Amino acid sequence: MLGYLITFLIFLKEKTPEVVKKKSGYLLIFPSIVSIGVMFIGLMYLVYLSFQTYDVLQRFIPALTLENYYKTILTPGPQTTFFRTFYLSLLASFTSIILAIPYAYYTVRAPSSLIQKLLIISILFPFFTGDVIKAYGWLAALGRSGILGWFTEKLFGSSVSLINTPTAVFIGLVQLLLPLSVLIVAPSIAAVNRELEMAAQNLGATPFQTFIKVVLPLIKPGVLGSFIVSFTIAVTEYAAPDLLGGGINKFVANFIYMIMFNAVNYPYAAASSIFLTLIISLIVYLILKVGKIGNIFIRGVR
Amino acid sequence: MKNHPEKIRKYTRREALSTAGKIAISAITAGVIGGIGGYYAGSTTAVPSVKTETIERVKTVTITETVGRTSTIPPKPDKLIVRAWGGGWQYALDEAVSKTFTKKTGIKVEYDNTEDSELQAKLVELIPADKTPPVDVNWTISTNAYLESAWGLAADMLPDEVPNIEDMLLQAKPPPIQGYRGYPFVNVYSYTYVLGYLTKYFPEPPDSWWVLWEPQYEKSVAMYDDGIGFHAVLAKLAGLKIPEELSPEKMEAAWDLLRRLLPNIGGLGEDPDLSMWLIREEMKLEVTIITNILEAVRHGAKAAWTVPKEGVEMHTDAMYVPRNLPPEREYWAKQYINTALDPEVQGKWAELLGCPPLHPKAPIPEYMEGDPAFPVKEEYIEKMIVIPLDILVKYEKDWFTKFEEITAGIA
């Protein structure tokens, strides 16, 4: 049976025109196109839903309205949620990049392979646990009866809790983003020719000056790419704001969840989702444009 | 009135059952609850878009019609899956209902902790597409059960299949719904949303809901993330007439009160969050169901509850069997619900949950008597804010949306 199959495949290869053979590589991107296509159809359905009218018993009725966008954009509550989401996501992404660069640099330039392996394992370890587990870990640490509470009790006589605060959400986000940022930035640093750094130092530059004037410009595409990935993950995050924010530091994803599942208002949830997607797309576009790295994925420009 | 849960610990069901007069008291108090039930379940005509023609319930039917086979008892499945809230809720269900059911039938019970609203979204997609639902029994709030029944997601429960339904109080029985000959769901107990507090901050219980607005409780007040159990309280505090002025457009004064409360709101969550915040002393005051306070107390919290003078909201939870189950699973799922309605089981379940039973012969736990948080006496009923089910179904989702919009603005 296997023999027949192999014979058939050989026959097929021989009879396939040369032009088709050259283009056959494109078949490999077919699954991605299907995946994106399905997502696009879903997105179009959301667009359709976002203009429908809410009804408590029928969930929505096909009567076109702009009310859902009006409520999403102009109501103070959702406005605050959008502002909080973008503000904390930008801050957390920026912080994680700032922390990731020295970590990645030291990992790449580690003096021994043992230290390098330890650093790599340390950064990979958080991937073995999910977002919810990580958030629960912080819940235990930052609560009144956690490590922070115990420490402040001993130090100041009264326990402090960071649970249900924006600070707790920020900490949770940074922990989530830091390993990703390191993994994305590290290859950029590895690609920097070590001799360039040595040359700069031979010409009198301090290690800090070398990093700022030589390394950083060279790794800029990696840094911006890492920032974009971190930001898009943070801005759509659900678990950390939900568990560490205590329901009063919601992100847009939490707001959409509540509107969709608790209020069963599908059109309003769809409008909020579409608006979020548009804003994220705009911000990513601006980063690519300002950072002049729009063609990085096409030409492999470094 | 102060209600310390320490009192509950001393109580055992055996003590309750050993008192000969208990059943008689239960019958009297249950009769009182029945009075509420008449009011609560009586209004059946105001839900929009639902045909409200008179539907006569079937009293008897042969099992053949339902399970599609001539044998009287279908084969037993290995297990049943019941959607349940976690924590103390699942514990009480397991101890009181599931263990009894398994002992009686040999069928194991597993739990699906998917949030009731999430499961609703799944059922809405699966059942109309003729797919098998992921749970055999859905334990949910009564407004969801009503909506899901109106959407045709529930299997019909006929009195022959679930005989205990007929003995339940009026409050347990839903109004007739188009498309059902029997009962699409059954309310399994009632409960109130009380004012919970940490006793270290309140040696005497607060007597009014206005305590929530006092400036010293900044970031110290918690409630459900959709505000359930608090909307009508807000309306009452704002001077609105209940239920006449509960429509979203007339609720603006109530929403203004909520906006003024935002600086004091320190947490919005689900049942486990509300229990955890009391255990960890993260919150000083909560609008919650007693079950969550009991759960916190079991874990060492020094917490108690009270019924403020303005009253508390009274609600019910329900159970139903989703449509499109294989016949044998549907049959045994209905038997599970029948077990949950058994008077003995109702009594034990009520004791563990802190929610008064809806079977007139169920023993009323001792700690519920003398406590206005449990509507088992006539004078306590006056403390209840009872919203007719049709009004709840009509407006509750709008209240959720409004509550979400306002609380999303907490800075």
Q: Which residue carries 């906006």 as its tokens?
A: B259
pLDDT at B293: 94
Among residues B174, B107, B118, which one has the least CA distance to residue B145?
B174
pLDDT bin (cut points 50, 70, 90) of residue A29 is confident
Choosing among B397, B402, B403, which should be mutated to test the A contact, i.e. which has the most A CBs within 10 A?
Answer: B397
Question: What number of other Cβ atoms are within 10 A of residue B165's Cβ?
Answer: 21
pLDDT at A23: 75
Question: Is B69 a residue whose pLDDT tops 70?
Answer: no
CATH topology of domain B191-314+394-407: D-Maltodextrin-Binding Protein; domain 2 (3.40.190)
In A179-209, which positions are buried (b, 16+ CB within 10 angstroms) versus exposed (e)?
bbbbbbbbebbeebeeeebeebeeeebeeee
Q: Which residue carries 């704001």 as its tokens?
A: A241
Q: Give the integer Cα–Cα distance in Å for B354 and B348.
A: 10
Give the β-pairing of B79-83 and A59-61. Answer: unpaired
Q: Give the integer Cα–Cα distance in Å for A189 and A194.
A: 10
User: In this complex, do B405 and A262 lie within 8 Å of one another by their Cβ atoms?
Assistant: no
User: In this complex, do A247 and B269 lie within 8 Å of one another by their Cβ atoms?
Assistant: yes
**What digits encode the pLDDT tens for the residues A240-299?**
999 999 999 999 999 999 999 888 899 999 999 999 999 999 999 998 888 877 665 554
Question: Is B8 a residue whose pLDDT tops 80?
Answer: no
pLDDT at B42: 35
pLDDT at B53: 43
Query: Do B15-190+316-377 and B191-314+394-407 fold alike per CATH?
Result: yes
pTM > 0.80 = no
| Mean pLDDT to the nearest integer, B251-259 | 96
This model of the complex carries an ipTM of: 0.77
Tally DSSP H helices, then E strands, for chain A.
16, 2
3-class secondary-structure state, position B266: strand
pLDDT at A294: 61
The answer to whether the CB of A132 falls within 8 A of the CB of A239 is yes
Token pair belonging to A244: 């560490």
B23 vs A104, which has greater pLDDT?
A104
pLDDT bin (cut points 50, 70, 90) of residue A10 is confident
**What digits encode the pLDDT tens for the residues B188-220?**
999 999 999 999 999 999 999 999 999 999 999
Q: Does B302 touch chain A (CB under 8 A)?
A: no
Of A57, A78, A248, the CB nearest to B266: A248
Query: What secondary structure does DSSP assign to B81-119, as a single string?
Result: EEE---THHHHHHIIIIIHHHHHHH--EEEEE---HHHH
pLDDT at B378: 72
Question: Is B64 a residue whose pLDDT tops 80?
Answer: no
Give the β-pairing of B312-320 and B384-386. Answer: parallel
Question: Is A302 a residue whose pLDDT tops 50?
Answer: no
pLDDT at B159: 93
pLDDT at A146: 81
Q: Which residue carries 């790449």 as its tokens?
A: A108
How far, in whole angstroms, is CA B334 from its chain's centroid?
19
Q: Give the integer Cα–Cα distance in Å for A182 and A124.
A: 10
**What digits encode the pLDDT tens for the residues A131-155?**
888 888 888 888 877 888 888 888 8
pLDDT at B63: 42
Q: Give the integer Cα–Cα distance in Å for B160 and B58.
A: 9
For residue B357, what is the DSSP state?
A: B
**Close Cβ partners of A174 (under 8 Å, ≥ 6 residues apart):** A92, A95, A96, A99
**Poorest-confidence range of A68-72, B56-60, B368-372?**
B56-60
**What digits encode the pLDDT tens for the residues A59-92?**
788 899 999 999 999 999 999 999 999 999 999 9
pLDDT at A262: 87
pLDDT at B211: 98
The answer to whether the CB of B46 falls within 8 A of the CB of B175 is no
| Mean pLDDT to the nearest integer, B44-67 | 43
Question: Is A225 a residue whose pLDDT tops 80?
Answer: yes
Q: What are the residue ranges spanned by the domains of chain B?
A: 15-190+316-377, 191-314+394-407
**What digits encode the pLDDT tens for the residues B338-353?**
999 999 999 999 999 9
pLDDT at B120: 93
pLDDT at A7: 87
Calculate the CA dihedral of residues B286, B287, B292, B297 and round it to 10 degrees: 40
In A44-62, which positions are buried (b, 16+ CB within 10 angstroms) versus exposed (e)?
eebeebbbbebbbbebbee
User: In this complex, do A263 and B410 lie within 8 Å of one another by their Cβ atoms?
Assistant: no
For residue A111, what is the DSSP state?
A: S
| Mean pLDDT to the nearest integer, A178-195 | 94
Which residues of chain B are within 8 Å of residue A78 when distances are taken between CB atoms?
A: 405, 408
Choosing among A45, A53, A56, A276, which should be mutated to test the B contact, i.e. which has the most B CBs within 10 A?
Answer: A56
Question: Is B26 a residue whose pLDDT tops 50?
Answer: no
Among residues B28, B93, B40, B131, which one has the least CA distance to residue B353?
B93
**Poorest-confidence range of A223-237, B34-48, B292-306, B331-345?**
B34-48
Cα atoms in the Cβ-side hemisphere of radius 13 Å centred on B345: 22
Question: Is B29 a residue whose pLDDT tops 50?
Answer: no
Instruction: Name the interface residues of A facing B (CB cutoff 8 Å).
Output: 55-59, 71, 75-81, 143-145, 161, 163-164, 246-250, 255, 258-265, 268
Q: Give the integer Cα–Cα distance in Å for A263 and B186.
A: 23
**Continuous segment of H or E residues that includes residue B125:** helix B116-126
Query: What secondary structure does DSSP assign to B368-401, as a single string?
Result: GTT-TTS--SHHHHTTEEE--HHHHHHHHHHHHH
Of A76, A164, A260, the CB nearest to B409: A76
For residue B76, what is the DSSP state?
A: P
Query: What secondary structure does DSSP assign to B210-244, as a single string?
Result: GGGG-GGGTT-EEEETT-TTTHHHHHHHTT--TTT
Q: Does B409 touch chain A (CB under 8 A)?
A: yes
Of B267, B400, B405, the CB nearest to A248: B267
| Mean pLDDT to the nearest integer, B359-379 | 87
The CATH number, out of the four listed (3.40.50.720, 3.40.190.10, 3.20.190.10, 1.10.3080.10), of the domain defined by the range B15-190+316-377: 3.40.190.10
Cα atoms in the Cβ-side hemisphere of radius 13 Å centred on A242: 18
The answer to whether the CB of B360 falls within 8 A of the CB of B167 is yes
**Residue B187 — φ and ψ, nearest 5°?**
-75, 135
Q: Give the integer Cα–Cα distance in Å for A253 and B269.
A: 15
Q: Does B120 touch chain A (CB under 8 A)?
A: yes
For residue B264, what is the DSSP state?
A: G
Among residues B68, B92, B97, which one has the least CA distance to residue B80?
B97
In B326-343, which positions are buried (b, 16+ CB within 10 angstroms) versus exposed (e)?
eebbbbbbbbbbbbbbbb
Token pair belonging to B333: 């799922």
**Poorest-confidence range of A7-16, A264-273, A289-298, B172-181?**
A289-298
pLDDT bin (cut points 50, 70, 90) of residue B57 is low
Question: Is A210 a residue whose pLDDT tops 60?
Answer: yes
Question: Is B406 a residue whose pLDDT tops 60?
Answer: yes
For residue B287, what is the DSSP state?
A: E
Maximum Cα interatomic distance, chain A, rounded to a whole number of Å: 84
**What digits encode the pLDDT tens for the residues B75-130?**
999 999 999 998 889 999 999 999 999 999 999 999 999 999 899 989 999 999 99
